[in-house]
Every structure is written in structure tokens, then in C-alpha cells.
Structure 1
Amino acid sequence: MTTVLAPVAGAAVGLEAVPDPVFSGGLVGAGAAIDPAREPGRVVAPIAGKIVKLHPHAFVVVGDDGRGILVHLGIDTVQLRGEGFELLAAEGDRVSAGQPVVAWNPAEIEAGGRSPVCPVVALDAEEGTVSALAEGRVCAGDELFRWG
């Protein structure tokens, strides 16, 4: 069983609430999303493991069990080309669950006309293996869901 932590503070919502059909349709995988607090903050690793992909707007951490978690910061934020994001870790780094990876300000993302909602996806999770989804307010580092 993998416990996945909330990478940001805000309100936990289902992936179906994400304003992007790739995430809301479950095409990337199962998981949850967080409508983040509109204040500057640090995005933390949802699990312990290795950062195998790191873009300013998204990253993937793979645990020692081979399970990968994608954290995507906002929708269509790839178009920002890193503007408004500060990397606090590097691709290839080993991180502990709850360790800061990126700093950002969701209010700035929203002010630019994009949704700051953050999908948190269990990559390649089999149907029915994601459970105990959090509801309502969460803090960065709180349990968001379980995979297993």
C-alpha cells in the first residue's frame, strides 16, 4: 500500500472536477486533485522516491516499489515555460515524502487566466486500486489517497 500525500494545501476534489479532459477522463490514471489555496507556497513530494521527470509545472516521483506519482501544477501551465515556478530540487534527486520540490503562487496562475487546480495521479494504477480519497481541506503533507 502506497500512501500519497497532498503536494499543496487547498481543497481536495475528484479528478472529474479538473477542467481538462485528459485528467478528468482518467486518461493519465486514477487519483485526486487539489484546488490550491491562492497564496505563494511550496509543492512537496507526494511519496518518497526519485524525481524521474521535473518540469517547472509538473513532476513525477517514482518510489522504490516502482510506482510513479504525477503532480501537475495547474492546467495549461506548460505554456508558461517555467515562468512563475521555482525549482527546489533537480531531476534525478531522491526525495522524502513531504520534501519541497517546487515553489509557486497559484493566485498568479489564476490571474493569468489558467486554472491552478493540481491533479495528483497514480500512473498506471489498475482500476479500483486507488482508495481513501481525502475530501475537503488538506494541508501539504496530509494524506490525499492510498494506492494498493
Structure 2
Amino acid sequence: MTLTVLAPLSGTVVAMADVPDPVFAGSLVGPGVAIDPERSGPVDVVAPVAGTIVKLHPHAFVILTDEGKGVLVHLGLDTVQLEGAGFTLHAAEKDVVEVGQKLVTWDPAEIEAGGRSPVCPVVGLEGSAEAVRLSVEPGATVRAADALLTWA
């Protein structure tokens, strides 16, 4: 079964290799793609897949699908250092969520103004690079809930 992972927010698609963080750029967490978010004020981040939130931090979350695939969305780089400041959660761990459901609100421009990258990796945890295919090419613009990648 192929899983379609949607864009959790609007912005410009960035190849994982171009993410300014060696762990994500090296796909050490898993394969995927990143989004450089729009900077037009607060942004709602939506669930890219349906499933159960197994990990939720203000700056990152993991949703486990019914098929057992985990998708990580990381909001900005080094944002764990903010200890939740600037992020509003709209869900909780163990919540069952639908595709497109609002999970977090944040302002990428504020993150950038604080000296951090607002780029958001979207990762297929424990996936193989061969199993993940991009639905859009790096440099393309996506809207929240557009198809981002497929995972076989």
C-alpha cells in the first residue's frame, strides 16, 4: 500500500540534501523533503497523514499511520532550544487525527528573526530512500495539504 504524505504547511520545497542541518541533510532520520515556509504571519501546520500522534513537541511531531508508518514534521531547525516559545499546540499526544487537521500554529518569520532556520523537514521514519518518491520537485511551491511525497 502506498501512503500519500501531504504538505503540512505552505512554502517552497527544499531537497533534504539542501537542509542546513547535517542530520536531516544526510537523511539520518529518514528520507523525505523539506519546506521553506511562507513568512506572512502566523502559519497553521496541518497533519500530513491520518493516524495517531505518538510524539508531540511544540517544534515537532510524529504521526503513526494505521499501516505502521511514522511521519515526522520538524518546524524549523534548532527550534527545540526555544522550549515551546512561539508555538501554539492544537492537539495532544495519543490524539487520532485526520489529514489536514490543524496541529500547531507558529510564525516562521519570528523563528528566522531569532537567528534560526524556519525550514521544515518532513521525514518518513525508518523508510528507505527507494520507497519515498517526491510528488513535487525542489523549488516548487506547495500549499498546505497538497501532495508532497508518496511512500511505498
SS at match of 1:29: coil
Q: Unmatched 5+ residue regions in structure 1? A: none
Q: Does 1:80 align with 2:79?
A: no
Cα shift at 1:127: 2.9
Runs of 4+ more than 3 Å apart:
none
User: Residue 70 of structure 1: which of 69, 72, 77 is its match?
Assistant: 72
Counterpart AA for 1:147: W
Cα shift at 1:17: 1.3
Counterparts of 1:66 and 1:56, CA distance in 2:
23
Q: Unmatched 5+ residue regions in structure 2? A: none
RMSD: 0.7
Kept in 2, the 8 Å contact 1:16–1:24? The answer is: yes
Q: Does 1:97 align with 2:99?
A: yes
Q: Does 1:21 align with 2:22?
A: yes
Cα shift at 1:56: 0.0
Kept in 2, the 8 Å contact 1:9–1:36? The answer is: yes
Q: Number of paired residues? A: 148
After superposition, the C-alpha distances for 1:30-73 in whole angstroms (9 at most, x for unaligned) are 00000000121100011000000000000000000000000000
Cα shift at 1:132: 3.0
Kept in 2, the 8 Å contact 1:52–1:60? The answer is: yes
**Other-structure match for 2:145:** 141
Question: Greater CA deviation, 124-133 or 55-64?
Answer: 124-133
Cα shift at 1:13: 1.2
Q: Percent identity?
A: 61
Kept in 2, the 8 Å contact 1:32–1:133? The answer is: no
User: Residue 58 of structure 2: which of 47, 56, 59 is its match?
Assistant: 56
